Amino acid sequence: MNVQERKKQATVERILFAALEIFADSGFEGARIDEIADRAAVNKAMIYYHIGDKNALYTRVLHEVFGDTAIRMADNVNRCAAPVEKMRAYIRSIGQTLEKHPHLPRIMMWELASGGLHLPEIVAQDLASIIGLIRSIIRQGHRQGIFKKLDPLVLHLMVLGGISFYRAGNPVRLRYTAQMGENAAENGNAPLTHLLKKVEKIILCALKHD
Amino acid sequence: MNVQERKKQATVERILFAALEIFADSGFEGARIDEIADRAAVNKAMIYYHIGDKNALYTRVLHEVFGDTAIRMADNVNRCAAPVEKMRAYIRSIGQTLEKHPHLPRIMMWELASGGLHLPEIVAQDLASIIGLIRSIIRQGHRQGIFKKLDPLVLHLMVLGGISFYRAGNPVRLRYTAQMGENAAENGNAPLTHLLKKVEKIILCALKHD
Amino acid sequence: MNVQERKKQATVERILFAALEIFADSGFEGARIDEIADRAAVNKAMIYYHIGDKNALYTRVLHEVFGDTAIRMADNVNRCAAPVEKMRAYIRSIGQTLEKHPHLPRIMMWELASGGLHLPEIVAQDLASIIGLIRSIIRQGHRQGIFKKLDPLVLHLMVLGGISFYRAGNPVRLRYTAQMGENAAENGNAPLTHLLKKVEKIILCALKHD
Amino acid sequence: MNVQERKKQATVERILFAALEIFADSGFEGARIDEIADRAAVNKAMIYYHIGDKNALYTRVLHEVFGDTAIRMADNVNRCAAPVEKMRAYIRSIGQTLEKHPHLPRIMMWELASGGLHLPEIVAQDLASIIGLIRSIIRQGHRQGIFKKLDPLVLHLMVLGGISFYRAGNPVRLRYTAQMGENAAENGNAPLTHLLKKVEKIILCALKHD
DNA sequence: CATGAATGAGTCTTCATTCAT
DNA sequence: AATGAATGAAGACTCATTCAT
């Protein structure tokens, strides 16, 4: 019995991972159920049996990624007390998330590009909770007289959008190294931590009172 | 003959505009040739006759949108002398571009999401020249002791990514107003200039020496 | 063992009854093995284990339903002496059968519609014996100078077909009450006995000499 | 232009005829779009292009048959004055219809068997108008003191059901000639007119006052 | 006996693309 | 240049049937 259970779980996990990759690569419309099944080494019908149709699969995949992210970010942020530390924790959490879910930026871009056409409500809640987090950080810092009062949504989207564009743009930059100037390629290959430090610096410079 | 020529040009323009709208809304895979033809009030076969297949159409649309952006930005920036002013001009140029090409952010996001699969070389050059622009602004400001030395690519992508995420995310935020908190909707409806001022403030705070 | 035997029999009966209902509702092609298993509260594989594939199940169901009909009709008819009484007994037997097997008319219609594709030979014999019965009634009545000489097959099929169409058509009439005229619905709800009396009257009027 | 028009019409007609045959043979669920396309010697997609999905095709086919029937029956009946003649015209109209649309009885049986699951409203109206016809005949005959007052719906369904069962049952009877007795086969092969005369006789005997 | 997972061959439907006129 | 018909290759989803436990 436990054997069956484990086998089932393995199957489901293989499906979800394959789906994640392919949704990230091709978006919802571009993804092919057949390809997902192939990559998961699973009969196509098993996807329908275990999970449901393409929409259900998409929902499940997104929630798996964004739900986990929202929880971990809240954890990391709340472990700190001072607003500056919280802000750092927030940005590093994004880094940690990208480390664990390297497909996340592109998934998010597909979704945003489509205007959230396929965005399931649970995932919208996940995203909302993340924005709530940064809003509370800024508010706290402001009350303590440490932070200027900047729009948290804009700040958040600059961080997230910047990082996403940076990472998602990597293949493009690599392909067009020549046109982009040496720096571009050099930066593109730099490890994630460098990028995050730069972003952190920019954000904290912008936030802190002189 | 001239009448025919003009008629043909009008047809092509209608096709391109319809395609732009639909590619922006639905992406490459999601777009339907039939729908484009319908919206352009043109027979489907005419698209193939005048322009070519779906890929050719998409590439053409991309080039049409990104083409004149680089030139206008360089113009606007070079009209100013001081680095701070140049930086402001740069950000406002982005705003101006979005005003003129409201479909640009989503087109860009589809493209980035797909890894720049359809990005034509000319467009890549356009984008590269924009980065060169901001790099030179920062360098100048740094030499004058006004700016810190921040990575121009990161800065650029935070601006562009932030604005794109903000605008592209509008429909999503509107749909999920409840979960996102009142502020989200309120901001979402704000005109572009408000957003740009916020971004400008953040960027200049980050750049300027204390 | 005896417990097991009884359990098995109960399982088979549940399967057969569920199958009967669903085949009657949906026909052979429309029926879903999954649904039958669900309704029988039985694992799908059990159907294959106990009975066989979809065809076997269908044939078995058909035989189950049509099997005892012929015997009972002969019994009822032979209990009467006079041809008119026999005829009445015959029509009432049909009513009795429908009372006991309310799914019979639709099963028969599916079968006839498909050209008797799945009709097992035993069932064909059952049906043939019924026709033999009515033939002998008419012959007897004719010899006694009571009945006209009408084609027994036609008469039989008018009775059976009429009743089947009437009953099978009930849901349709109910749905389209408006178009059918008030009478349709009113009649549609009438109990079986009313219908049988009407048929009986029509048939005897047609048969009896003036 | 007229060539194209004619070609299109031919295509549509081939599709509709093939569909009629296959729906009659196999019912809605059993019919295969592929087979219909094959038999119509038409690309599958043309069915969707010209007509629509399976439901639309079914609706179109049924309406083509039943609509035509309803109109012709009304015509034939109204051409007569006396109720008895009208009744005869009505029954012969059924014959005429079966001659022209030999697939009708089985189509109707599939539909009735399914409880009108796929019955489109237009077709329901067609059927209702036929029942209205016979109702008015009987009412007229009754007012003139010629007919007994019998339930028109029952009468109609006995006629239609009888004929349908008779014809639909033909293949079954042919297959099981031995069990059915010689008469069955003999009758089964008899031309339609014989059957209709028998039905007519039965119905008029039942209706007319002594 | 019983169960849930697995399979493969369909089945409907769509869509980019081409052809004939 | 323009149109409407035609095509073929997928695409998502289903379902009868079997397997492993």
Mean of per-residue pLDDT scores for chain A = 89
Are D116 and D57 in contact by the 8 Å Cβ rule? The answer is no
Three-state SS for A180-204 is HCHHHHHHHHCCHHHHHHHHHHHHH
AA identity, residue A31:
A
CB contact residues (below 8 A), chain B span 172-201, against chain A: 172, 175-176, 179-181, 183-184, 187, 195, 198-199, 201
Phi, psi (degrees; rounded to nearest 5) at B31:
-70, 145
If you search the block for the tokens 């006079």, which residue do you land on? C82
Least confident window among A27-31, A173-177, D6-10, D203-207:
A173-177
Contact, C54 CB vs strand F, < 7 Å:
yes
pLDDT of the residue at C178:
62
CA proximity to A94, closest of A9, A20, A184, A198: A198
Residue-wise pLDDT tens digits, D136-185: 998 999 999 999 888 888 988 999 999 999 988 888 888 776 655 555 54
Residue B51 in this model has a pLDDT that exceeds 80: yes
From the list C30, C113, C205, the residue facing D206 with the nearest CB is: C205
Are D49 and D139 in contact by the 8 Å Cβ rule? The answer is no
Give, to the nearest 10 degrees, the angle between helix C83-100 and helix C121-143: 150
pLDDT of the residue at D186:
46
Contact, B6 CB vs strand F, < 7 Å:
no
Contact, B53 CB vs strand E, < 7 Å:
yes
Residue-wise pLDDT tens digits, B170-193: 888 887 776 555 555 445 456 788
Going residue by residue through chain C, which has 210 residues, state the pLDDT in tens, using 9 for 90 and above.
577 777 788 899 999 999 999 999 999 999 999 999 999 999 999 999 999 999 999 999 998 888 778 888 888 899 999 999 999 999 989 888 888 888 998 999 999 999 887 787 877 888 888 888 899 999 999 999 999 988 989 999 999 999 999 988 888 888 777 655 555 544 545 678 888 999 998 999 888 876
Give, to the nearest 10 degrees, the angle between helix A152-168 and helix A104-113: 110
Residue D90 in this model has a pLDDT that exceeds 80: yes
Mean of per-residue pLDDT scores for chain B = 87
Q: Determine whether the interchain pair D205/C163 forms a contact, defined as Cβ–Cβ distance below 8 Å.
A: no
pLDDT of the residue at B182:
53
pLDDT of the residue at C186:
46
The helix (H) or strand (E) run that includes residue A6 is helix A2-30
**Helix (H/G/I), strand (E/B), else coil: B148:** coil
Residues on chain B touching A150 (C-beta within 8 angstroms): 198, 201-202
Residue B41 in this model has a pLDDT that exceeds 60: yes
Are D38 and D101 in contact by the 8 Å Cβ rule? The answer is no
Q: Is the dihedral of CA C141, C146, C148, C150 positive or negative?
A: negative
| A18-A23-A28 Cα angle (round to 5) | 135
pLDDT of the residue at A190:
62
Q: Is the dihedral of CA C57, C62, C63, C65 positive or negative?
A: positive
Are A164 and B116 in contact by the 8 Å Cβ rule? The answer is no
Across the range A17-44, mean pLDDT stands at 97
Question: Helix, strand, coil % (nearest 5) of chain A?
Answer: 80, 0, 20
Residue D190 in this model has a pLDDT that exceeds 70: no
pLDDT of the residue at C174:
83
Are B88 and B196 in contact by the 8 Å Cβ rule? The answer is no
Contact, B148 CB vs strand F, < 7 Å:
no
d(CA D148, CA D151): 10
CB contact residues (below 8 A), chain C span 1-60, against chain D: 25-30
Tokens linked to D39: 């038999």
Mean of per-residue pLDDT scores for chain D = 89
Across the range A168-186, mean pLDDT stands at 67
pLDDT of the residue at B190:
61
AA identity, residue B22:
I
Residue-wise pLDDT tens digits, D58-83: 999 999 999 999 999 999 999 999 99
pLDDT of the residue at A26:
96
Are A23 and A55 in contact by the 8 Å Cβ rule? The answer is no
In this complex, the nucleotide whose C1' atom is nearest to the CA atom of residue C30 is: F15
Please give the residue that has the higher pLDDT: either C179 or B18: B18
Residue A178 in this model has a pLDDT that exceeds 80: no
Are B9 and B50 in contact by the 8 Å Cβ rule? The answer is no
From the list B27, B166, B171, the residue facing A29 with the nearest CB is: B27
Residue A146 in this model has a pLDDT that exceeds 80: yes
Least confident window among B63-67, B131-135, D184-188:
D184-188
> How many C-beta neighbours within 10 Å does residue B152 have?
21
Quickly give C33 CA vs E4 C1' distance in Å.
Answer: 16
Are B76 and B65 in contact by the 8 Å Cβ rule? The answer is no
d(CA D139, CA D141): 5
Q: Is the dihedral of CA C133, C137, C143, C147 positive or negative?
A: negative
Tokens linked to C122: 């035993």
Question: Quick one: what percent of chain C has pLDDT higher than 70?
Answer: 92
d(CA A9, CA B137): 54
Contact, A49 CB vs strand E, < 7 Å:
yes
pLDDT of the residue at C96:
87
From the list D111, D128, D155, the residue facing C202 with the nearest CB is: D155
For residue A52, CA distances in Å to A9, A17, A45 come to: 15, 15, 9
Residue-wise pLDDT tens digits, D120-130: 889 998 988 98
d(CA C38, CA A24): 38
Q: Determine whether the interchain pair B198/A150 forms a contact, defined as Cβ–Cβ distance below 8 Å.
A: yes
Residue A31 in this model has a pLDDT that exceeds 60: yes
Phi-psi region of C133 (alpha: psi -120 to 50; beta: other; left: phi over 0): alpha
Q: Is the dihedral of CA D25, D28, D30, D33 positive or negative?
A: positive
- Give the gyration radius of chain A's Cα atoms: 19
pLDDT of the residue at A82:
94
**Helix (H/G/I), strand (E/B), else coil: B208:** strand
Residue B145 in this model has a pLDDT that exceeds 50: yes
CB contact residues (below 8 A), chain D span 92-121, against chain C: 106, 109-116, 119, 121
Residue-wise pLDDT tens digits, B57-106: 999 999 888 877 888 888 899 999 999 999 999 999 988 888 888 899 89
Residue-wise pLDDT tens digits, A124-141: 999 889 988 989 999 999
Residue A182 in this model has a pLDDT that exceeds 70: no
| D32-D36-D40 Cα angle (round to 5) | 170
pLDDT of the residue at D185:
47
pLDDT of the residue at B61:
94
Quickly give A68 CA vs F16 C1' distance in Å.
Answer: 39
Side-chain-side CA neighbours of B87 within 13 Å: the count stands at 27
Residue A3 in this model has a pLDDT that exceeds 70: yes
